[in-house]
């Protein structure tokens, strides 16, 4: 029985590696008759593997690349890594999908490894230290990501509905290029055929995806890396206002507060740093800069100075020991 099972999965691996294979060659490579080969193919189909048959003198079998996962063998450390990754993935994906994936991985493990993974789950507690949920964060559609990735690799044209920030939904025809993951979101970088230009689409705003059999055309990507191009595009939406400030702290300590998407850091002296940054409002920038716990000088603009005045007034109201008359009381 084990020889039969081993040979069946060997057949699966051969089909996944080679695509179509003639019946005679498969039977020869496996050392079986064509009748036994047909029985092995039937076993694969019973297990849910989509094996296609081509009839005739040049007949044989094929399976779509990537249609199924081959059998895998995991070490204890690899199994624990998968389990921990799936626990983390529940923050971004459908919890039921992550749970079922973990259950299937555990079911395929040897008893000792399964026991260790179970012990890890039993004694591990997830704690949201800040208690905060991400704002405007939609769960990732795993199937959609897979189809978009397939269209990028196979260079197939795609069509879908995309909802913009203002709620307007339009039909888009694109030649997909890359998927980019950043800030707990996924983006598709593609050439928009109707706009005749490159565009970035948030995948959680994509629906009704259809990947056609039409080949994607070749388009010249702007002269930079995809990561840089996407970051610059996102900055346009995130950085509605900008500023330049002088922070009295070394650049190394300031840099950890300034992500590339929010600004840049430049050492003026070993102990003084220039920051060019932006956000959706000056008040947001003022509060963010105060988190650095260092002296800050505003170089420009005056709007940021006014924002610091508003934040300071709010802090003074919070520090009063007498009745301030509510949030609108005198500062």
Spell out the domain ranges in the chain: 2-63, 76-123, 142-219, 239-319
Number of Cβ within a 10 Å radius of residue 157 = 20
239-319 is classed CATH 3.30.70.250 = yes
CATH of 142-219, picked from 2.40.10, 2.20.25, 2.30.30, 2.60.40, is 2.30.30
pLDDT along the chain (331 residues), means of 10: 64 80 88 89 80 84 64 68 70 64 70 73 59 56 84 92 90 92 80 93 92 90 79 71 94 86 88 91 91 93 95 91 57 41
Q: 185, 204 in Cβ contact below 8 A? A: yes
Residue 298: the pLDDT is 95
Residue 6: the pLDDT is 67
What whole-number distance in Å separates Cα of residue 230 and Cα of residue 248?
31
CA atoms within 13 A on the CB side of 124: 12
Residue 130: the pLDDT is 45
Residue 194: the pLDDT is 93
Residue 1: the pLDDT is 41
Structure-block tokens of residue 73: 């063998």
Residue 136: the pLDDT is 54
DSSP for residue 140: B
Q: What pTM was estimated for this model as a whole?
A: 0.54
Residue 108: the pLDDT is 65
> Domain 2-63 adopts which CATH fold?
Arc Repressor Mutant, subunit A (1.10.10)
Residue 10: the pLDDT is 80
Residue 231: the pLDDT is 73
Residue 331: the pLDDT is 41
What is the three-class DSSP state of 245? strand
């Amino acid at each position: 029985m084990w020889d039969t099972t081993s040979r069946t999965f060997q057949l699966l691996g051969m089909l996944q590696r080679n695509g179509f294979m003639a019946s005679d060659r498969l039977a020869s490579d496996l050392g079986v008759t064509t009748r036994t080969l047909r029985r092995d193919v039937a076993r694969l189909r019973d297990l849910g593997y989509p094996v296609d048959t081509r009839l005739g003198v040049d007949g044989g079998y094929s399976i779509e690349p990537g249609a199924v996962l081959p059998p895998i063998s995991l070490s204890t450390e690899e199994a624990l890594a998968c389990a921990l990754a799936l626990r983390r993935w529940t923050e971004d994906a459908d919890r039921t999908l992550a749970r079922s994936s973990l259950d299937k991985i555990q079911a395929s493990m040897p008893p000792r490894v399964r026991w260790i993974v179970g012990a890890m789950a039993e004694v591990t507690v997830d704690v949201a230290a800040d208690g905060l949920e991400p704002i405007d964060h939609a769960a990732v559609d795993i199937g959609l990501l897979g189809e978009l990735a397939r269209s990028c690799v196979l260079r197939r044209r795609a069509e879908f509905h995309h909802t913009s920030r203002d709620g307007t939904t339009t039909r888009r025809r694109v030649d997909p290029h890359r998927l980019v993951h950043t800030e707990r979101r996924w983006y598709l970088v593609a050439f928009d055929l109707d706009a005749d230009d490159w565009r970035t689409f948030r995948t959680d705003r994509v629906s009704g995806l259809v990947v056609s059999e039409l080949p994607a055309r070749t388009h010249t990507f702007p002269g930079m890396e995809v990561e840089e191009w996407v970051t610059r595009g996102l900055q346009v939406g995130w950085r509605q206002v900008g500023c330049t400030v002088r922070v009295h702290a070394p650049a190394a300590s300031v840099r950890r507060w300034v992500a590339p998407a929010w600004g840049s850091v430049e050492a003026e002296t070993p102990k003084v740093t220039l920051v060019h940054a932006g956000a959706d409002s000056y008040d947001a920038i003022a509060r963010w800069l105060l988190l650095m716990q260092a002296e800050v000088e505003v170089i420009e603009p005056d709007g940021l100075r006014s924002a610091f005045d508003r934040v300071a007034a709010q802090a003074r109201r919070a520090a009063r020991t007498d009745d301030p008359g509510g949030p609108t009381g005198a500062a």
